[in-house]
């Protein structure tokens, strides 16, 4: 599981840092957030639109600005090329599925366009 998570983190960093839309819009995209995927949790730190760090083994006191928590099935559905209805965005999944948005919503909203590219 850990090697899968580490390879996911590396790919996430590469894709995020090379994304032209994020590069064009995200000069001030600086925050940290947690993806909670049941058995796996990661904290991603962004600074000026680039991934600064991905913590694939966060401790209970490691800080983050906001968290998205959902079942493994919800994350799997999100990753489909054409997600099913209610898996196409974090808001729809939080209203109808099991995704929970926790933490500082202001920081999430300030960075929402970059976060949901």
pLDDT in tens, 8-59: 999 999 999 999 988 888 888 899 999 999 999 999 999 999 999 999 999 9
pLDDT at position 1: 57
Q: Which domain holds residue 7?
A: 2-115
Distance of alpha carbon 101 from alpha carbon 13, whole angstroms:
22
State the sign of the Cα–Cα–Cα–Cα dihedral 14, 18, 19, 22.
Answer: positive
The answer, yes or no, to whether residue 2 has pLDDT greater than 80, is no
pLDDT at 51: 96
Which CATH number does the domain housing residue 102 bear? 3.30.1050.10
Average pLDDT over residues 98-103: 95
5-38 residues labelled b (16+ CB within 10 A) or e (exposed)? beebbeeebeebeeeeebeeebeebbbbbbbbbe
Report the chain's mean pLDDT, rounded to a whole number.
91
3-state secondary structure of 64: coil
User: What's the whole-number mean pLDDT along residues 94-107?
Assistant: 92
The domain total for the chain is 1
């Amino acid at each position: 599981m850990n090697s899968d998570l580490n390879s996911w983190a590396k790919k996430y960093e590469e894709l995020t840092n090379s994304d032209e839309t994020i590069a064009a819009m995200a000069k001030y995209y600086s925050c940290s957030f947690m993806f909670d995927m049941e058995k796996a949790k990661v904290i991603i730190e962004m600074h000026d639109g680039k991934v600064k760090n991905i913590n694939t083994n966060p401790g209970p006191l490691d800080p983050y600005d906001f968290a998205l928590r959902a079942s493994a099935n919800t994350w799997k559905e999100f990753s489909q090329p054409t997600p099913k209805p209610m898996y196409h965005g974090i808001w729809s999944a939080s209203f109808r599925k099991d995704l929970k948005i926790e933490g500082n919503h202001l920081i999430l909203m300030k960075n929402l366009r970059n976060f949901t590219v």
